[in-house]
Structure 1
Amino acid sequence: MSVWPAWEVREHESVTSWFYVRPAFEDGAQVDVLAVACEADVSVEDVRAQPPLSLDDLAVLADWIEEPLFAAIGAPTAPSCAPEEASARRARPPWPSGIEGRWLVAAEYRAAQGDGIDPVLAVMCATGHSRRKSLRLIAGARDAGFLAPRHARR
């Protein structure tokens, strides 16, 4: 995997750095990533892949590039995080299963709608799950009758 700096912006005491990352795949696939590192946060800003990545692959892309990116930055774990904090940051919060979990998903979804924000993103943040898993949880809440059907039947 190749990682090289693109550019850097310094403002007061904080530094935001952009990096190009190119994972190497044996099957000849090519993926070019533009990643941003700012304080204790690393995010993916742009991805270009040939052949296109599946949604599952795109969901784990950050995990693929995290270690080489931190090595390029010079941090063994997340920048400015202690190892204990980095592992705690990754831990998924406990989320109840069954009917209670579906009810909580529906409550989170409706609260986000009321606040005018993306309800799927709100469920993702509350559960700690990926977008795909959160959509499944929302569908389960709909099936349980806690949310209105997605489409009106004619």
Structure 2
Amino acid sequence: MSVRPAWEVRESEGATRWFEFRLDFADGARVDALALVAGGSVCVEEVRAQPALTLDDLAVLADWIEESVAGACATGSEAGGVGPGRRARPVPPRGAEGRQLVAREYRAAQRSGTDPVLAVMSATGHGRRTSLRLIGQARDAGLLPARRARR
């Protein structure tokens, strides 16, 4: 098993860090994962397993990743690290309230000059793909302007 930092994005009040995980088993099975650490939460963004994992195996893997990240990061709040015993993902609001949260975070990030997608990822606890889908839904609801002006 190995845990290694992949990359880090520093912001004024902390950092967003990604870690790569690899588990190799004696029978040839392998699990690769990418986890995001931001604002005291851990979010598993991507998992590849050969052979495929069951839902129960995924739950065990998420707990193992959370503990491993806590060990790899500085404990407490320095550098955006997570302390042991925290839950992995905040529970964002759903429906119209969730779309308003996405739009509010997106616009605030644009005003401050930071990456709006990372701001939505941090606010919702979702990965990049899901956050992009949520941003699209906020656009469709008229809460954000169209991405490109039509000619």
AA partner of residue 23 (structure 2)? P
Q: Secondary structure at the match of 2:134?
A: helix
Q: Secondary structure at the match of 1:23?
A: strand
- 1:1-154 paired onto structure 2 within 5 Å: 1=1, 3=2, 22-24=22-24, 56-57=46-47, 66=65, 80=75, 86-90=84-88, 92-154=89-151
* 1:59-101 Cα distance to aligned partner (Å, 9 max, x none): x9x959838957xxxx6x97757xxx534241x2232111111
Say which structure, 1 or 2, has more relative contact order (CA 8 Å, 6+ apart): 2
Q: Which amino acid aligns with 1:66?
A: I
- In our comparison, the structure showing a higher alpha carbon Rg is 1
Matched positions, count: 109
Equivalent position of 1:36 in the other structure: none
- Give the Cα separation in 1 of the matches to 2:87 and 2:116: 22
Deviations 1:25-68 (A, max 9, x none): 7778897x9xxxxxx9x9xxxxxxxxxxxx8437x9x9598389
Structure 1's 21 and 139: CA in aligned 2 closer, same or farther, altered over 3 A? closer
For the 8 Å contact 1:105–1:141, the answer to whether it is kept is yes
Cα distance, 1:135–1:28 mapped onto 2, change above 3 Å: same
Over the matched positions of the two proteins, sequence identity in percent amounts to 47
Distance 1:127 1:116 in 2: 19
* TM-score normalized by the length of structure 1: 0.50
Question: How far apart are residue 152 of structure 1 and its match?
Answer: 1.9
TM-score, length of structure 2 as denominator length: 0.51
Q: Secondary structure at the match of 2:86?
A: helix
Structure 1 portions without partners, runs of 5+: 6-19, 34-39, 43-54
Paired with 1:102 and 1:110, the residues of 2 have a C-alpha distance of: 12
Q: Which residue of 1 aligns with 2:16?
A: none
Gaps of 5+ in 2: 5-19, 35-39, 49-57, 77-82
Deviation at 1:119, TM superposition (A): 0.3
RMSD: 4.3
